[in-house]
Amino acid sequence: MSPVLITGAAGGIATHLRHELRGRYALRLCDLRPVADLQAGESFVCADLASLDDMAAAMQGVQAVVHLGGLSMEGAWEDVLSANVAGCYNAFEAARRAGVRRFIFASSNHAVGFYRRDQTIDHRVPMRPDSRYGVSKVFGEAMGSLYADKYGLEVLCIRIGNVNPSPLDARRLAIWLSPRDMAQLVAIGLEHPDIRFEVVYGVSGNRRSWYDNANAHRLGYRPQDDSEAFAEAVLANAPAADPRGEAFQGGAFVHEELFDNP
Ligand code: 15L
């Protein structure tokens, strides 16, 4: 079985994913930073997202790429541009050059973070990014669409909420994604026979969700977790949220800088 390459493999989501996917797939872990505690079935390749050649070499012989690499939060435009725009381009183009069949793109709830919390949105709504970071995720989804249409790459975009063993605060009760539900979505991206270009929300089966995740369900997603089990404890200990971001799904990503600028 040819390996699955994970970019950003030293990061938090990848660490959860490795744990969940171990033994089910051969994993080639790709990052500039070293990856700790390599296990049986895992190999490491040091590659820089800024180098198309590096990335194409890292992807030789893999069946699929799970692209988690790049910035995972709001940043200066120069940083977003190099890591999440140029780096994302390199990841898709390297996959094409290496003849990879499947590509799973870690998009984000921040691609649509300017929707209000009283709205339920599905995967077909127009993009409403809430930050430069959110714009970079819109770009990544557009890259997926282009590479699917033009080159036949099979692409699943997962608009990830927040991956953590338990939800961190009131907003995350709506967007929480447990590690095992994340792994289920990734496995759908790797194995579902009919993926050409699909977008799903990366959230558990949260009762408080503001997403209609019908497309994920159509592809067979049956989340095992619901943030409701944590709700009482989370709400009892929740730090006071900044009211400026409260109306919007993207929370702090929405209000950061918005009210500070002239
Ligand atoms: C994201 O997209 C980020 O990668 C992550 O760091 C969290 O901030 C998450 O969104 C969130 O909205 O909580």
Domain 4-255: CATH architecture, name and number where available: 3-Layer(aba) Sandwich (3.40)
CA 38 to ligand 1 centroid distance, Å:
26
- Ordered by start, the domain boundaries in the chain are 4-255
List ligand 1's pocket residues with C-beta within 6 A. 72-73, 108-110, 160, 162, 172
- Tell me which residue has its CA closest to atom 2 in ligand 1: 108
Q: Could you list the active site residues?
A: 133
Residue appearing with tokens 């989340």: 223
pLDDT above 50: residue 26: yes
Atom nearest to 250 CA in ligand 1: 12
Segment 165-205, tens digit of pLDDT: 999 999 999 999 999 999 999 999 999 999 999 999 999 99
- Calculate what percentage of the chain has a pLDDT beyond 70: 98
CA 27 to ligand 1 centroid distance, Å:
24
Which H, E and C letters describe 201-242, residue by residue?
Answer: EECCCCCCCCECCHHHHHCCCCCCCCCHHHHHHHHHHCCCCC
| Among candidate residues 259, 255, 246, 243, the one with its CA nearest the CA of residue 116 | 246
Residue appearing with tokens 């929707």: 115
Mean pLDDT of the chain: 95
Atom nearest to 108 CA in ligand 1: 2
Atom nearest to 137 CA in ligand 1: 2
Segment 33-89, tens digit of pLDDT: 999 899 999 999 999 999 999 999 999 999 999 999 999 999 999 999 999 999 999
CA 2 to ligand 1 centroid distance, Å:
31
